[in-house]
A and B are shown apart, each in its own frame.
Chain A
Amino acid sequence: MSSDNLSAVLYAKNDLRLENRPIPEPGPNEVLLRMAQVGICGSDVSYLTKGFIGDFVVKAPMVLGHEAAGVVAKCGANVKHLKPGDRVAIEPGIPCRMCDFCKGGKYNLCPDVFFCATPPDHGNLCRYYKHAADFCYKLPDHVSLEEGAILEPLSVGVHACRRAGVTLGSKVLICGAGPIGLVNLLTAKAMGATSVCITDIAENRLQVAKEMGADHTLLVSTGDAEALAKEIKELLGDMPDITIECSGAEPSIRLGIFATKSGGMMVLVGLGPPEVKIPIVNAAVREVDIRGIFRYANCYPLALDMIASGKVNVKPLITHRFKLEESAKAFETARTGAGGAIKVMISCE
């Protein structure tokens, strides 16, 4: 094995360096992975450009990357379900397994979770990385490593659609046609939603959404939320039972509330300003529930199944590719969205 573990390390805001780090040794329940593909997420860009997200502050050098897939290089003594050479998707969050949340099946809410590239935990945008084996999912031969890396954002879509109660016949409004809006679109349709309307402020994003299966699209400015809600009702033939808000923008959250049918559900996936002015009485007296999501729990197997079975095609999401050595350029593309960038993929091989 080479001793080259080139890693993309964030030292401080706007200070990204490529450097060699030691190759880790896997514990009895872990595997050592030769990293293959790592996608860039909006949160990675936030850490790079701002140095923090909410209370998570970059205080020490941190390896970036959490949307990843790799190849098993070495297995810990207790690992049975994987062997060297297996190609796997990596679920980046490892919970404590013992607290009430973990024991209750909501490990995404574990307060002691280890999570790749959330300070102070190191990510996997590097050549070699070790991880708990039960959070590595073997990819069938026909699923690529790039698709393996997309399982992470796709799992966000699965968790959101599950918590939203999307099912056969659902009418769904998705606000925002960025990568998160698009994975929610793919998932909602796969779960049986018969009518999906997607909104965005950029026409080109709506084109992509249309190609990826949106039944209706609506270009929104920061206009009249109540008027836009009426337009959505007209497009869908009824008010949507479910709104999945993927932008985090205040006008969009407001639109989501006005648009959703009484007794329905609005799931907040996008994160924007910490405090938002909301027409709360309108939501409350019409029993429109507002539900947030945090990452995902027990979603990777379904996300993998959706791709492996051909139910969803995530390949159109990957628009730009870079090598690990070109990480700075990759992040710049992700930050600006230049060239219609949706998902920027970095190859670590």
Chain B
Amino acid sequence: MDNEYPTLHGVGDMRMGKHPIPEIGPNDVLLKMSKVGICGSDLSLVYKGRLGDFNVPYPMGLCHEASGVVMQCGQKVMHLKIGDRVAVEPGGPCRICTFCKSGKYNNCPEACFHAGPSPTPGCLARYFKHTADLCFKLPDNVSQEEGAIIEPLAVGVHACRRAKVTLGSSVLICGAGPVGLVCLLSAKAMGATNILVTDIRENRLQTAKKMGAHSTLLVRNEMPEDLAKKVTKTMGCQPEITLECSGADDSIRMGIFATKSSGIAMLVGIGNPEVKLPIVNAAVREVDVMGVFRYINCYPIAIDMIAKGLIDVKPLITHRFKFEDYRKAFELFKSGEDGAIKCMISCD
């Protein structure tokens, strides 16, 4: 068996290569990868060479939204066996620091995220080694493709939890890309009864409507304060919670203006590292501005929601590619053409 995976060597410079299969430790599993999705953050890493303050340490592996099949189990692994289909929760928390010990392993400074110094592969590979406790067995009625969507869905679950979305919540979601849509699915499942989704593109709003948004609003060139007023008018009230999923400066500003006093403006989307914000407006109205980083202990609930039919993620998967056509997948996703939401690459 030979491993094969692409690595990133420079801006836009992805190269496929053959590498040895990794050795696993007592708490690891070796996975034959099945399906891998591409994230907006992957686009930033590939085509900009950075993500926020993080600069790509070339060469680097690709992708972190994945599912696979267990090929080998380390001696101490009890909950998985060969042949099990699993969703992969990426990241390698250290388990020792105070963050890890207090249940905030997503904030662990050591947590790598599929991408470390070469030759560690990303999840976009034929074979991938991972710590077994972060591999979650999929029930029979959850497909490998759905397994690869668990990662972005977990982002939505964590964002909604941190923002305290609950039964009866009024929620504004800015941006109807994949992140906005998983937030929509999560918010709806958590009981939000008044969800408005905004976007600059009409076709994305159509998708949001089909996926359960109570109302949608097309963003043109309005001033953020004026758009915030339109949001209130459309929703019939100011949202208690805003989930900002675009990372765009004006959208963040609008989200703050729109949110009801004592509410929460949750920044899920990552854009410019520095943004000019109407901070006094937020502060004196006690609108908390919060961020999220990945997820904590969200995979089980995300898998369960799909298994029980409470969430349907299938409409998110719009395009499929073979392993060797991975570059086309990146290019299509980058262009956003053809209504691309989630591009799925087959690794088997």
Query: Are A280 and B261 also in contact (CB < 8 A) when A287-B290, A292-B286 are?
Result: no
In the complex, whether B275 has a CB less than 8 A from a CB of chain A is yes
Which of A108, A274, A284, A287 has the largest number of chain B CB atoms within 10 A?
A284
| CB neighbors of A among B233-267 (8 A) | 252, 261-262, 267
A276 with B285: CB separation less than 8 A: no
Number of residues of chain A lying within 8 A (CB) of chain B:
35
- Distance in angstroms from B36 CB to nearest chain A CB is 23
Chain A residue at smallest Cβ distance from B265: A290
A262 with B286: CB separation less than 8 A: no
Query: Are A289 and B107 also in contact (CB < 8 A) when A263-B99, A278-B277, A280-B274 are?
Result: no
Chain B residues, CB < 8 A from A106: 261-262, 286
Tally of A-B Cβ pairs under 8 angstroms: 123
Chain B residue at smallest Cβ distance from A109: B261
Chain B residues, CB < 8 A from A21: none
- Distance in angstroms from B66 CB to nearest chain A CB is 21
Query: Are A275 and B276 also in contact (CB < 8 A) when A109-B262, A289-B288, A292-B285 are?
Result: yes
Identify B285's interface contact among A274, A282, A289, A294, CB under 8 A. A294
- Distance in angstroms from A160 CB to nearest chain B CB is 11
A287–B162 CA distance with the chains assembled, in angstroms: 10
Identify A291's interface contact among B106, B276, B288, CB under 8 A. B288
A277 with B274: CB separation less than 8 A: yes
| CB neighbors of B among A72-125 (8 A) | 101, 104, 106, 108-109
B284 with A282: CB separation less than 8 A: no
Chain A residues, CB < 8 A from B322: none
Chain A residues, CB < 8 A from B270: 281, 284-285
- Distance in angstroms from A302 CB to nearest chain B CB is 18
Identify A293's interface contact among B52, B99, B283, CB under 8 A. B283
Identify A290's interface contact among B281, B282, B285, CB under 8 A. B282
In the complex, whether B116 has a CB less than 8 A from a CB of chain A is no
Chain A residue at smallest Cβ distance from B54: A285
In the complex, whether A271 has a CB less than 8 A from a CB of chain B is yes
Q: Mark A245-273, 1 if CB is under 8 A from B, else 0.
A: 00000000100000000110000100111
A282–B293 CA distance with the chains assembled, in angstroms: 11
Chain A residues, CB < 8 A from B275: 277-278, 280
Chain A residues, CB < 8 A from B53: 281-282
Which of B106, B280, B287, B288 has the largest number of chain A CB atoms within 10 A?
B280
B262 with A286: CB separation less than 8 A: no
- Distance in angstroms from A162 CB to nearest chain B CB is 12
A268–B109 CA distance with the chains assembled, in angstroms: 26
In the complex, whether A192 has a CB less than 8 A from a CB of chain B is no
Identify B289's interface contact among A282, A290, A294, CB under 8 A. A290
Chain B residue at smallest Cβ distance from A110: B261
Chain A residues, CB < 8 A from B277: 275-278, 280
A273–B292 CA distance with the chains assembled, in angstroms: 26
B293 with A287: CB separation less than 8 A: yes
Chain A residues, CB < 8 A from B280: 54, 271-275, 292
Chain B residue at smallest Cβ distance from A254: B274
Which of A109, A272, A292 has the largest number of chain B CB atoms within 10 A?
A292
- Distance in angstroms from A65 CB to nearest chain B CB is 21
A283 with B291: CB separation less than 8 A: yes
Chain A residues, CB < 8 A from B281: 274
Chain A residues, CB < 8 A from B278: 274-275
A289 with B276: CB separation less than 8 A: no
B261 with A101: CB separation less than 8 A: yes
In the complex, whether A279 has a CB less than 8 A from a CB of chain B is yes
A287–B99 CA distance with the chains assembled, in angstroms: 12
B274 with A279: CB separation less than 8 A: yes
A275 with B279: CB separation less than 8 A: yes
11 residue pairs bridging A and B, Cβ less than 8 Å apart:
A106-B286, A163-B286, A268-B279, A275-B276, A276-B277, A277-B276, A281-B274, A286-B107, A287-B104, A289-B290, A293-B283
Known: A106-B286, A268-B283. 19 other contacts (CB 8 A): A106-B261, A262-B99, A263-B107, A268-B279, A271-B283, A272-B280, A274-B278, A282-B52, A282-B53, A282-B273, A285-B291, A285-B293, A287-B162, A289-B291, A290-B289, A290-B290, A292-B283, A292-B284, A292-B287
Chain B interface (Cβ < 8 Å from any Cβ of A): 52-53, 99, 104, 106-107, 109, 162, 252, 261-262, 267, 270-293
